[in-house]
Amino acid sequence: MKILEKINAIDLEKKLSSGTYVLFFTADWCPDCRFIKPAMPQIEEKYTESTFIQVDRDENISLCQELGIMGIPSFVVYRNGKEIARFVNKDRKTKEEVERFLDQAV
Tell me which residues are annotated as active site: 30, 33
Cis (ω within 30 of 0) for the bond into 73? yes
Strand 51-56: give its sheet, edge to edge.
Answer: 2-3, 51-56, 20-26, 74-79, 82-87
Contact between residue 25 and residue 64 where contact means Cβ atoms under 8 Å apart: yes
